Structure 1
Amino acid sequence: MAEREIAIRGEMIRLGQLLKLADLVEVGADAKLLLDDGLVTVNGEVEQRRGRQLHRGDVVAVEDEAVRVV
């Protein structure tokens, strides 16, 4: 799985915001559906909290796409 980098401005970003920033979803409702279905992983573990705080180095994957927070 290819991994691309997504730069953030502050110290952290919430998972729902990152999914939109990385164009993995179009709107927050789409993020909720993916999370509820267990299709999102953070650092290899299934995550269902849209408000999960992510920091530099975290890797988020949705199906066959992965992004690293930088």
Structure 2
Amino acid sequence: MNDIEFQLRGEYIELDKLLKATGIAGSGGQARVMITDGLVTVDGQPEHRKTAKIRAGQRVSAQGQDVRVVA
């Protein structure tokens, strides 16, 4: 897996926006489809909420990429 470190600018970022911001998804629509299809995990658990709040310290995995969110 490839690791990406994502610098959080506020308290949280919504999951679909994180996937788009890191380039894992080419668009917000593609990110939402990936989430709905169960292709995204947060801290090792499948996440189906498109706007789940991702905070510093969490890990998001999708498409062979692992994103570590830092403050």
Matched, 1:54 2:51: no
In 1, distance between residues paired with 2:56 and 2:32? 23
- Give the TM-score, by structure 1 length: 0.92
Provide the aligned length of Structure 1 versus Structure 2: 70
Is the 8 Å Cα contact of residues 24 and 63 (structure 2) preserved in structure 1? Answer: no
Residue matched to 1:25? 25
Using the TM superposition, give the Cα deviation of residue 28 of structure 1 relative to its aligned residue in structure 2, in angstroms: 1.1
Deviations 1:15-54 (A, max 9, x none): 0110111101111110111111110000000001111001
In 2, distance between residues paired with 1:49 and 1:12? 15
Q: Which runs of 5+ in 1 are unaligned?
A: none
Residue matched to 1:64? 64
In 1, distance between residues paired with 2:38 and 2:6? 22
CA RMSD of superposed structures (Å): 1.0
Q: Which runs of 5+ in 2 are unaligned?
A: none
In 1, distance between residues paired with 2:19 and 2:43? 14
Using the TM superposition, give the Cα deviation of residue 3 of structure 1 relative to its aligned residue in structure 2, in angstroms: 2.0
Q: Which amino acid is 1:48 matched to?
A: H
